[in-house]
Amino acid sequence: IGGTQWDEGGTIVNASKQIYKFVLFITDFSNPYFNLDLQPPEYYGPFVHVLVFIPTMFSFIINFFSSLLDPLITVNGSNEIEIALIIRHLMLNIYFCVILIFIFKKLKKMINIRLAIIFTALLLLIPSVNGHALFNLTDIPFAIQYFLAAIYYIDSINDPQKKIKDNLIIGFLFGLVLLIRINAIAFLITLTIFELFTNERIKKKLKTGYSYIRIIQKSLYIYSFSILTWFIGTPSAWKNTINWFLGAYKWQFNQPNKIPTILNGNISYSHEQGPLMLSKWFAYKLPLGILIVFIIAVLLTTKIQNSLFNYSLFFLIYVNLAFLVYRPVFYDEIRHFLFLIPFIVFICSKLLDHMNK
């Protein structure tokens, strides 16, 4: 809770500074404000922060919601700070629903509507998802935005009809992920590695003109456009890009604060997590039914032939191995690892869909 409380204030600081610097870039690029030291919230992606903050900039929106919510006993309609907080969270809910609709449509097209329904239902029934979706302005957007970008990439595998335009769309989606957390750059390469080692047309040596060079070329299109999207959407990095990256590494890859976390009555600190802490937290936080179905799905992997299923397993293994080796700062339960849940849920959904067949 403490971390998300900090994020609320950070959202206001980050969004307001990014908007102000964008305006200054157009009107007064030589303004010394650009040379001031960046504040920690500016090292986090502004995409969702700006999205939820913009409506609170207009007094008529504040006044509308104030009059609408004032009759409720639990809301102080005359408190603009409280009304603005409600609006930001409402915008988060709308954003979450919109991305979930895109995911639903893509899964329906890639596989079938039954799996899309199962996936959506299971995801929404997980407390760590539906709870955080009400207030978490960084980790929930990161989780669903990365999953959306990943399924678009997986859909492009083994499809010779995909053109540069399609790669740019995927690059744009990845750019939005970077605009939430720049440390997602550590995950993007996993899709290229997965495609290099699993592409059926290469394995079967089909004469389609598809090769490792083509895959790498496609990845360069996607990653270049994603970096460009990130840069355009981050005014705080426009003038001192290197300094921004150094600060982002400090705050996103190696958070300096020592924060306590309690698991089953035992206190541990953010810099002192054991190698199995991530697995333990997921064992405690995920519903028992999800854990059982997930274990069965893993045991039946060879019977379920699906690229997104295989990538989901590969991605979960990759993140857990990286956690064992890198030992990142870990606190506030699993909120920084919520991005794993959509992949776990998809594995469960694919098994249930497979059993139905």
Tell me if residue 266 falls in helix, strand or coil.
strand
In our burial notation (b when 16+ CB lie closer than 10 A, e otherwise), range 92-107 reads beebbeebbeebbebb
Tell me if residue 269 falls in helix, strand or coil.
strand
* DSSP letters for 295-353: HHHHHTGGG---HHHHHHHHHHHHHHHHHHHH-----STTGGGGGGHHHHHHHHHHHHH
CB atoms within 10 A of CB 228: 14
- Measure the CA–CA gap between 346 and 123, rounded to whole angstroms: 9
Stated pTM of the model: 0.90
* DSSP letters for 82-140: HHHHHHHHHHHHHHHHHHHHHHHHHHHHHT-HHHHHHHHHHHHH-HHHHTGGGT-SSHH
Specify the pLDDT at position 243.
Answer: 85
Specify the pLDDT at position 1.
Answer: 45
- Measure the CA–CA gap between 43 and 288, rounded to whole angstroms: 37
- Which tokens go with 297? 């799905």
Residues of the chain with pLDDT under 50: 1-2, 205-207
For the chain, what's the residue count?
357
- Which tokens go with 316? 């979960």
Strand partners, 267: 262
Token pair 């999205």 in the structure block, residue: 51
Q: How distant is the alpha carbon of residue 242 from its chain centre? A: 24
CB 85 within 8 A of CB 75: no
Specify the pLDDT at position 341.
Answer: 96
CB 349 within 8 A of CB 115: yes
